[in-house]
Amino acid sequence: MTDPLWFDSEEMLIGGRWLRAADSLPVENPSNGETFAAIPRGGAREIDAAVAAAHEARAGEWGRMDAATRGRLLSSLGRLVAERAEDLARLEAMDVGKPLAQARADALALARYLEFYGGAADKVHGTTIPFLDGYTVYTLRQPHGVTGHIVPWNYPMQIIGRSVGAALAMGNACVLKPAEEACLTALAFARLACDAGLPAGALNVVPGLGAEAGAALSAHPGIHHVSFTGSVATGAAVQAAAAANVVPVTLELGGKSPQIVFDDADLDAALPFLVRAGIQNAGQTCSAASRILVHEAVADKVVARMSESYRALRVGPALEDRDMGPVISARQKGIVEGFLAQAGDLTVAARAEVPDGPGHWVAPTLLTGAAPDHPLAQAEIFGPVQVVIPFASEAEALAIANGTDYGLVAGVWTRDGACQMRMARDLHCGQVFLNNYGAGGGVELPFGGVGKSGHGREKGFEALYGFSQLKTVAALHG
Ligand SMILES: NC(=O)c1ccc[n+]([C@@H]2O[C@H](COP(=O)([O-])OP(=O)(O)OC[C@H]3O[C@@H](n4cnc5c(N)ncnc54)[C@H](O)[C@@H]3O)[C@@H](O)[C@H]2O)c1
Ligand SMILES: C[N+](C)(C)CC=O
């Protein structure tokens, strides 16, 4: 196999310089368990240096750059990412275990985020406000300053695109702490950012452990905004750390998202979405459709057809580009298997075959017979496990859908327009998809949750408001 690394992965980017840390962390390929690279183990000292470099960038060329020039730089970076999409995809596939086609889609999504935010950079502005005679009042939309970005391992490129892309577009200088399990595409992205001509310190990337680099970043008094995606427990810790500095935080913490299938649904249209949204990225997706709520009149038919799809799933090494790869790590496999051990009297409707041998394989598993309050119908499993729950009425479907601590995404499958509107209004979540699920991931669509799924919105124009603040200017001139 050709070496997918075209750069020194043991170097991190701080203030425009590529530096090594005193220690490094191994990089494992989840498809075979082999160590194939190393990354720096940054800690408090490196975070400190990165925050200082970001402040210098804000005070220098980056802070003075006009919005249109900033936008053009991001657009150029997007083109570089698109040109290297194949290399980035291979890197991600080896690092995360994501099938090549899904990794390629992530790379192209990163390019698209940069195109979108590059184009938007000079189109976000304040307003004038009619006020008392003798005054002119207007608002200025300005960057927070230095923003921290703590990114998980499941969709590194997409999450960097939506958070770092939007923050840079608004003129913030960023300190990015990728997940220790998945730093390679973040480091590759930083190389491309240098090639695109991003001024020193505008983007700093410090790989390292969550408890070290992540904790140092979220508690740093020099950070003005933190964007975090990951688990509820870590998100709460990040928010608490940032609160000590009275710093705003955006939290995207996952979910237990339902797809709700009514008895008049177009099942042929729904079925591919029902399964794909559960097993995509081995179920390690914040917006995974881990609960399938089905009207009892069509429940047997839906389970039978989903089971057929499950049995046909091809699971294998990421570079072989099957339907599903391994989960990220032995630890994550242990977490998912721990949940499956609680399945107890649930029925395994279908399970796909997984490879023998090394690699972190978890069989895609479709479960029936769970009451809505069963632990497997409540907890975010973050693995390829879906639970089917029948319902008898629209009111019951809504109660079950809203009956978890989470509220990220929901899908509704029905031809009844009034039912669609009621569900869209009453579902307790941040995004509702009617007769689809995910809308192809559109970068234009604001994204985020309610409840334990977090708060704040990324993606679309909404992210540009989140990564900036409004200043009101009132001039009394007579
Ligand atoms: N919402 C999502 O997209 C998402 C992504 C990854 C994991 N998860 C959930 O989290 C579970 C565990 O995965 P995990 O342990 O990798 O998630 P995590 O939340 O601990 O890690 C996410 C990011 O936070 C960093 N981090 C960890 N501890 C930190 C701390 N004390 N301060 C600041 N940053 C810290 C990590 O280094 C990583 O970059 C999964 O099973 C899944 O349920 C959700
Ligand atoms: C929204 N998405 C799929 C990019 C990331 C959540 O895991």
Return d(Cα 366, Cα 450) in angstroms, integer: 27
Q: State which of 287, 327, 429, 437 you would mutate to test the pocket of ligand 2, scoring each by most atoms of that ligand within 8 A of its C-beta.
A: 287
- CB distance 163 to ligand 2 below 6 Å: no
Residue nearest to atom 6 of ligand 1 (CA): 230
- pLDDT 10s digit of each residue in the chain, 478 long? 446 799 999 999 999 999 999 999 999 999 999 999 999 999 999 999 999 999 999 999 999 999 999 999 999 999 999 999 999 999 999 999 999 999 999 999 999 999 999 999 999 999 999 999 999 999 999 999 999 999 999 999 999 999 999 999 999 999 999 999 999 999 999 999 999 999 999 999 999 999 999 999 999 999 999 999 999 999 999 999 999 999 999 999 989 999 999 999 999 999 999 999 999 999 999 999 999 999 999 999 999 999 999 999 999 999 999 999 999 999 999 999 999 999 988 999 999 999 998 999 999 999 999 999 999 999 999 999 999 999 999 999 999 999 999 999 999 999 999 999 999 999 999 999 999 999 999 999 999 999 999 999 999 999 999 999 999 999 999 9
Q: What is the pLDDT of residue 127?
A: 97
Q: What is the pLDDT of residue 4?
A: 75
Q: 340 alpha carbon to ligand 1 midpoint, in Å?
A: 21
- CB distance 158 to ligand 2 below 6 Å: yes
Ligand nearest to the CA of residue 445, numbered in listed order:
2
Q: 285 alpha carbon to ligand 2 midpoint, in Å?
A: 6
Q: What is the pLDDT of residue 385?
A: 98
Which positions are catalytic? 252
Give the three-state DSSP class for 382.
coil
Q: What is the pLDDT of residue 357?
A: 85
Give the three-state DSSP class for 76.
helix
> Which ligand 1 atom is the nearest neighbour of the CA of 252?
1
Q: Give the residue among 294, 313, 308, 309 at the shortest CA–CA distance from 387.
A: 294
Ligand nearest to the CA of residue 211, numbered in listed order:
1
Q: 285 alpha carbon to ligand 1 midpoint, in Å?
A: 12
Tokens of 17: 């310089």
- CB distance 155 to ligand 2 below 6 Å: yes
- CB distance 286 to ligand 2 below 6 Å: yes
Q: State which of 234, 238, 339 you would mutate to test the pocket of ligand 1, scoring each by most atoms of that ligand within 8 A of its C-beta.
A: 234
Q: 174 - beta bridge partners?
A: 147, 203
Q: What is the pLDDT of residue 3?
A: 65
Return d(Cα 15, Cα 17) in angstroms, integer: 6
Q: 134 alpha carbon to ligand 2 midpoint, in Å?
A: 50
Tokens of 301: 């038919």
* Distance between start and end Cα atoms, the chain: 75
Sign (positive or negative) of CA dihedral 417, 421, 426, 432: positive
Q: 333 alpha carbon to ligand 1 midpoint, in Å?
A: 15
Q: What is the pLDDT of residue 1?
A: 43
Q: 450 alpha carbon to ligand 1 midpoint, in Å?
A: 18
Residue nearest to atom 28 of ligand 1 (CA): 210
Q: Give the residue among 117, 98, 121 at the shortest CA–CA distance from 321.
A: 98
Burial (0-12, 13-18, 19+ Cβ within 10 Å), 146 = buried
Give the three-state DSSP class for 402.
coil
Return d(Cα 165, Cα 89) in angstroms, integer: 19
Q: Residues 6 or more apart from 165 whose CB is under 8 A from it?
A: 74, 110, 113, 114, 116, 117
> Domains (ranges, CATH) in the chain?
11-253+454-473 (3.40.605.10), 258-442 (3.40.309.10)
Ligand nearest to the CA of residue 281, numbered in listed order:
2
> Which ligand 2 atom is the nearest neighbour of the CA of 447?
1
Ligand nearest to the CA of residue 155, numbered in listed order:
2
pTM for the predicted model, two decimal places: 0.97
Residue nearest to atom 9 of ligand 1 (CA): 231
Residue nearest to atom 12 of ligand 1 (CA): 231
